[in-house]
Amino acid sequence: MKKRRIQAYICTVFILSIIFSSFNGTAEAAPSVSAQKAIVIDQDTGRILYEKDANTQSRIASITKIMTAILAIESGKLDETVKVSDNAVRAEGSSIYLKPGEKIKLEDLVFGLMLRSGNDSAVAIAEHVGGSLDGFVYLMNKKAEEIGMKNTHFSNPHGLDDHEDHYSSAYDMAILTRYAMQNEKYREVAGTKVHTSPDPENDWDRKWKNKNRLLTELYKYCTGGKTGYTKRAKRTLVTTATKGGQNLIAVTLNGPDDWNDHIQMFEYGFKNFDTVIAVSEGKVDDIKDPFYENKIYIKRDVLLALKKEEIETVRVEYKLLKPKESWKDAVVPEVVGKAVIYMGGEQADAVPLYYSQVKVKEKKSWWMFWKQSFITVLGVKTDG
């Protein structure tokens, strides 16, 4: 289901507010979670919907493997065959029971990593993709820095408590998961309930069932995630969920009742927030300058995660370069300004405005009427 466009959504909210004005319904209270650290964010916009001590550096156990998985997927080597080392087989803790010298596809190792949390699989992946454990750890930390994980340092590919300087935060793990969920293969792996892999010593396949009970049995809106546990980190959990076109990410660290924590956080997010389109991809209809009219467009939808009472605080400003005399006889720059989206007086997003040398075709859709009707509410204007 597509995100609701904000102009039509304003109309809907307005009508419903009149219909139900006689009721004293209130927004759901923030969830009370068992976890020491927790967060839920909107996957499409990155907005934090709820948090609890989300930036404190903490042990994270096997949710570390989200980074291991996405690096393996991005390596482009999933079809390669990995020879399992003695070092990988000796990895402590949870295992997919690899054999020394066994040859197995990297893709199957990633499934074993994510579904069964195999520490032997993590080491085998790291040695193949990074050349060595140290080489792979370098890649992990480099990627963490690239995507903005400011309270994170990786020292191994599995999350075991064998290093003191292996840590992250609930917020950083949400950032990592949001990044990983942009990858189609990662979404497939994380959302798989059962995977089979050839067993070289038997006539039957290995069969791995996902340990993520939210995905397999407890929450019908869950789309994936990763479990974790060590004696020092306690229970850690990352999950994703989708309902009505809205995509959320939840993280808990040291959460004794983490399954229920995640359900509560998701239900809070789905009930109190909605992901809407503030500015739609394509032609911009609100620019009346003779030079630019019918020739300005944007290349992506601008999404906002909003509470119902925040809808009317959204406004858009179109800031355009003043046309130059020389443009009449020369090519106009591709980017001629930007659309700045404000929410409650603060900038929420901004996108480039592109100029087309030919008239941009107008989209034919039912919501255009509402868009024109709510221009005043949105506070649209053009700045030179």
Closest to 136 measured CA to CA, from 125, 147, 146, 145: 125
Residue 4 has a pLDDT of 56
pLDDT digits (tens, 9 = 90+) for 13-37: 444 443 333 333 455 678 899 999 9
- Domain regions of the chain by residue span: 37-272, 282-383
Looking up tokens 């893709």, which residue turns up? Answer: 107
pLDDT digits (tens, 9 = 90+) for 54-90: 999 999 999 999 999 999 999 999 999 999 999 999 9
Residue 19 has a pLDDT of 33
Mean pLDDT for all residues in the chain: 87
Q: Which residues are catalytic?
A: 62, 65, 117
* CA–CA gap between residue 224 and residue 241 (Å, rounded): 7
Residue 167 has a pLDDT of 98
Residue 39 has a pLDDT of 98
DSSP reduced 3-state for 119: helix
Closest to 8 measured CA to CA, from 280, 348, 208, 296: 280
Residue 382 has a pLDDT of 36
Q: Is the pLDDT of residue 104 over 50?
A: yes
Which CATH number applies to 37-272: 2.70.98.10, 3.40.710.10, 3.30.70.260, 2.60.40.1510? 3.40.710.10
**Where does the pLDDT of residue 131 fall: very low under 50, low under 70, confident under 90, or very high at 90 and above?**
very high
Mean pLDDT over residues 156-174, rounded?
Answer: 97
**Where does the pLDDT of residue 199 fall: very low under 50, low under 70, confident under 90, or very high at 90 and above?**
confident
Q: Is 226 annotated as a binding residue?
A: yes
**Where does the pLDDT of residue 362 fall: very low under 50, low under 70, confident under 90, or very high at 90 and above?**
low
Question: What would the CATH number be for the domain defined by 282-383?
Answer: 2.30.140.30
